[in-house]
C-alpha cells in the first residue's frame, strides 16, 4: 500500500473515531491502535484469571455454605470474564497461546492488586467491595470504548461485577456489625487493601505512558486520575456507613471542588509490584505456569479428539 493510501485510510479512521463509530475486527485500523488494544485487553484478561487466585484461596474456608456458594460463583465469573476478554483480543489477530506465553514469560502484565495476600476472611469482603468496586468504575467507562468486541465484553462483565461488589460490601457490613474481633478484622482488611486499590487505576496522568494516545483513540474515556478520584468520592461514604476509617490522615472532603482530597500514594511500592517484586508475584506466576503445564494432557487430548472427529466427518462426506 502506498504512503498516500495509508494516509487516506488514517483520515477515514480518525473521522470514524471522531463520530464515535465503533471499530470492528475486519475494519482497517492503524497498527499502533491494534497493538495498544492487544496490550490492554490481554492484560485485562490476565488480570481476571490471576485475580481468581487470591479468592480461590478462601473457597474451602468460607464461613458458611451460603458464603461458599457465592464465592464459588464469583470466582467462576472471573474465569468467564477472562474468556470473553481473551476472545475479544483474538479478534485482533493474536492467538490464545501467544497471550499465555506473554503472561508466563513476564512480557505481559496483570493488575498489581492481585499480588497481595488474602490473610483473613475479611479480605474477601474487602476485595469485593474495593477491588471489584474499582474495577466497575474503570470498566463502566470502557463499555463505551471505541473497539466493538471490547466494549461489548465490558457491558456483560459490568453486570456481573456489580453483584460481586455487593457481595463484598455485605461481608464487610456483617463483620463491622459483628463482634469487636470481627469489626477489627474488617478494619484491618480495609487498612491493607485501601492503598493497593487506589493503585489499580495506574500511575498519575503525568506519569502515564499511554493515556494521552488512548484518550485520542477513545480506548480510554476517562484518565487514570479521573477514575481514581471517582472511586474515592464514591467509596469514602460507604466506609462511613460501615463505621470503618479509611487509612489516610490527609483524606478530607473539599467543599470547593466537591471532591475528597487525599494523601500521596506510595508510587515506589506500586512500581515494585508492577515489576514483579510484590508480596505474591512469584506465587501467582508459579500457580499460573503450573496450571498450564499440568493442563497439557487435556489440551492434547482435546486436539486429538477434534482431529479424530474431523477425519470421521471427512470419511463420511466421501
Ligand atoms: N497493574 O500508561 P499507563 C479486576 C502499567 S480487573 C499493573 O497508565 P494504561 C476484576 C501499564 O500496563 C483489573 N500494571 O497504562 C477482578 C503500563 O505498562 P505497559 C484489571 C499497571 O494501560 C476483580 C504502565 O503501567 N483491569 O480487577 C497498572 O493506559 C476481583 C503505564 O501505565 C483492567 O485491566 C496496574 N494497576 O492504563 C478480578 C482494566 N496500571 O503495558 C478478580 C483495563 C498501569 O506499557 C477479582 N485496563 N500499569 O508495559 C485499563 O483500564 C488500563 O490498562 C489501566 C492502565 C488503567 C489499568
The sign of the dihedral angle between the CA atoms of 189, 53, 278, 271 is negative
Which atom from ligand 1 is nearest to the alpha carbon of 110?
7
The per-residue b/e assignment along 287-309, b for 16 or more CB within 10 angstroms, e otherwise, is ebeeeeeeeeeeeeeeeeeeeee
Enumerate the domain spans of the chain.
13-278
Q: Does residue 48 line the site of ligand 1, with CB under 6 A?
A: yes
Distance 111 CA to ligand 1 centre (A): 5
Tell me, in angstroms, the distance from the centre of ligand 1 to residue 47's CA.
8
Cα-to-centroid distance, 207 and ligand 1 (Å): 14
- For residue 314, the model assigns a pLDDT of 85
In this prediction the pTM is: 0.95
Q: Is 41 near ligand 1, meaning CB less than 6 Å away?
A: no
Rg (the chain; Cα; Å): 22
DSSP state of 276: I
Atom of ligand 1 nearest to the CA of 128: 30
pLDDT tens, the chain, 318 aa long: 888 999 999 999 999 999 999 999 999 999 999 999 999 999 999 999 999 999 999 999 999 999 999 999 999 999 999 999 999 999 999 999 999 999 999 999 999 999 999 999 999 999 999 999 999 999 999 999 999 999 999 999 998 999 999 999 999 999 999 999 999 999 999 999 999 999 999 999 999 999 999 999 999 999 999 999 999 999 999 999 999 999 999 999 999 999 999 999 999 999 999 999 999 999 999 999 999 999 999 999 999 999 999 988 888 887
Do 70 and 179 touch, CB atoms closer than 8 A? no
Q: What is the signed CA dihedral for 99, 104, 107, 108, rounded to 10 degrees?
A: 50
If you ran DSSP here, which 8-state letter would residue 51 be given? T
Q: How far is 140 from 221, CA to CA, in rounded Å?
A: 10
In angstroms, the CA 203 to CA 35 distance is: 20
CB of residue 167 inside a 6 A radius of ligand 1: no
User: Using an 8 Å Cβ cutoff, are 250 and 262 in contact?
Assistant: yes
Return the CATH fold of 13-278.
Ferritin (1.20.1260)
Which residue is closest in CA terms to ligand 1's atom 46? 51
Q: Does the Cβ of 211 fall within 6 Å of ligand 1?
A: yes
Residue 138 Cα, ligand 1 centroid: separation in angstroms?
10
Amino acid at each position: 500500500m502506498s504512503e498516500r493510501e495509508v494516509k487516506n485510510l488514517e483520515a477515514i479512521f480518525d473521522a470514524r473515531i471522531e463520530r464515535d463509530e465503533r471499530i470492528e475486527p475486519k475494519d482497517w485500523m492503524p497498527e499502533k491502535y491494534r497493538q495498544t488494544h492487544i496490550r490492554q485487553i490481554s492484560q485485562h484478561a490476565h488480570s481476571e484469571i490471576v485475580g481468581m487466585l487470591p479468592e480461590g484461596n478462601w473457597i474451602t474456608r468460607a464461613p458458611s455454605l451460603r458464603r461458599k456458594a457465592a464465592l464459588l460463583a464469583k470466582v467462576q465469573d472471573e474465569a468467564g470474564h477472562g474468556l470473553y476478554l481473551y476472545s475479544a483480543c483474538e479478534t485482533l489477530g493474536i492467538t490464545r497461546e501467544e497471550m499465555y506465553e506473554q503472561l508466563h514469560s513476564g512480557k505481559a502484565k496483570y493488575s498489581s492488586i492481585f499480588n497481595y495476600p488474602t490473610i483473613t476472611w475479611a479480605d474477601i469482603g474487602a476485595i469485593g467491595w474495593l477491588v471489584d468496586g474499582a474495577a466497575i468504575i474503570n470498566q463502566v467507562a470502557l463499555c463505551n470504548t471505541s473497539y466493538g468486541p471490547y466494549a461489548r465484553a465490558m457491558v456483560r462483565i459490568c453486570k456481573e461485577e456489580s453483584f460481586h461488589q455487593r457481595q463484598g460490601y455485605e461481608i464487610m457490613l456483617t463483620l463491622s456489625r459483628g463482634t469487636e474481633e470481627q469489626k477489627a478484622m474488617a478494619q484491618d482488611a480495609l487498612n491493607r487493601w485501601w492503598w493497593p486499590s487506589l493503585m489499580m487505576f495506574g500511575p498519575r496522568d503525568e506519569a502515564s505512558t499511554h493515556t494521552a494516545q488512548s484518550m485520542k483513540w477513545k480506548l480510554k474515556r476517562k484518565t487514570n486520575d479521573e477514575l481514581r478520584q471517582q472511586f474515592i468520592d464514591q467509596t469514602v461514604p460507604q466506609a462511613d456507613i460501615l463505621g470503618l476509617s479509611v487509612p489516610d490522615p490527609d483524606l478530607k472532603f473539599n467543599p470547593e471542588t466537591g471532591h475528597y482530597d487525599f494523601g500521596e500514594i506510595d508510587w515506589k511500592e506500586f512500581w515494585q509490584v508492577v515489576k514483579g517484586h510484590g508480596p505474591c508475584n512469584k506465587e501467582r506466576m508459579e500457580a499460573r505456569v503450573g496450571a498450564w503445564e499440568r493442563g497439557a494432557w487435556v489440551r492434547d487430548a482435546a486436539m486429538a479428539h477434534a482431529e479424530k472427529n474431523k477425519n470421521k466427518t471427512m470419511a463420511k462426506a466421501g
